[in-house]
């Protein structure tokens, strides 16, 4: 089946610094990638949708200047959390979709901001 | 936009019993309804999905039903096993191209041996 990887799997950073998370589709070309945020024991909340070579579409309430998304190729999307604060601590999951309906999820990145 | 509600939030059953999780959606334009299983600390895994031109789909012990008129769909797990214990999420996509998938709040299923 299709495989999506994320790196890093977990990261701890200090308040005020920036953190970059990578999402890769390993064995297929993803026309669209999605970024989700998941708080403990809660559902997946869509943050943004990105199509290769174009600007990401952010969901209402998500600060585009704080959560920078780049989708430079059909196999790589990055999420950069800029000037991170403790309230940004969360589980960030990406997913990727090729032609069709199904989304394949990455393993997630646990971000802790101290 | 689309709003997906999921019930119950927690469900506990005895091994061998059936489990049913229900979801409703708000946008009649939604046409794709996947179900995901997420074990603790792991990624969501697609377990079954259904499209709006089908009323029911079955895969071994798992089945999904869809009622487009009432705008609700359900996940049925029969002969539950302890390894079925996980959080299950339903989802619905607004558009054909699946770019606006919305998830339900999740159901934590516990199967007691």
Render pLDDT for A33-56 as a digit per residue (tens, 0 to 9): 999 999 888 888 999 998 888 889
Nearest-neighbour CA in chain B from A35: distance (Å): 11
Per residue in B60-83, pLDDT (tens digit) is 999 999 999 999 999 999 999 999
Is residue B84 within 8 Å of B75, Cβ to Cβ?
Answer: no
Q: Is the pLDDT of residue B95 over 60?
A: no
pLDDT of residue A80: 97
Contacts of A110 (CB under 8 A, 6+ apart): A9, A10, A11, A90, A91, A92
Interface test with A, best of B99, B100, B105, B107 (most A CBs within 10 A): B99
Interface contact flag, A49 B100, Cβ < 8 Å: yes
Interface contact flag, B32 A107, Cβ < 8 Å: no
Contacts of B100 in chain A (CB under 8 A): 46, 49
Interface contact flag, B99 A42, Cβ < 8 Å: no
User: Could you give the strand order of the β-sheet that contains B72-77, starting from the edge strand earlier in sequence?
Assistant: B4-7, B19-25, B72-77, B62-67, B56-59
Which of B43, B97, B105 is opposite residue A93, by nearest beta carbon? B43
């Amino acid at each position: 089946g299709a495989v999506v990887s994320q790196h890093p799997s977990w990261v701890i950073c200090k308040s005020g610094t920036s953190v970059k998370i990578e999402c890769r589709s390993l064995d297929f070309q993803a026309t669209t990638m999605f970024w989700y945020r998941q708080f403990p024991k809660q559902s997946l909340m869509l943050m943004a949708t990105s199509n290769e070579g174009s600007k990401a579409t952010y969901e209402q309430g998500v600060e585009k200047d704080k959560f920078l998304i780049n989708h430079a190729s059909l196999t790589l999307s990055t999420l950069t959390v800029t000037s991170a604060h403790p309230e940004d601590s969360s589980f960030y999951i990406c997913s990727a979709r090729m032609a069709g309906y199904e989304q394949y999820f990455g393993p997630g990145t646990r971000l802790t901001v101290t | 936009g689309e709003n997906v509600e999921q019930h119950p939030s927690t469900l506990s059953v005895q091994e061998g019993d059936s489990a049913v999780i229900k979801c409703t959606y708000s946008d009649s334009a939604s046409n794709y309804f996947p179900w995901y299983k997420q074990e603790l600390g792991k990624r969501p895994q697609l377990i079954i999905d259904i499209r709006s031109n089908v009323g029911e789909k079955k895969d071994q012990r798992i089945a999904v039903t869809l009622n487009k008129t009432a705008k609700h769909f359900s996940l049925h797990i029969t002969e539950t096993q302890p390894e079925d214990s996980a959080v299950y999420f339903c989802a619905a996509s607004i558009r054909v191209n699946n770019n606006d998938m919305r998830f339900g709040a999740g159901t934590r299923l516990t199967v007691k041996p």
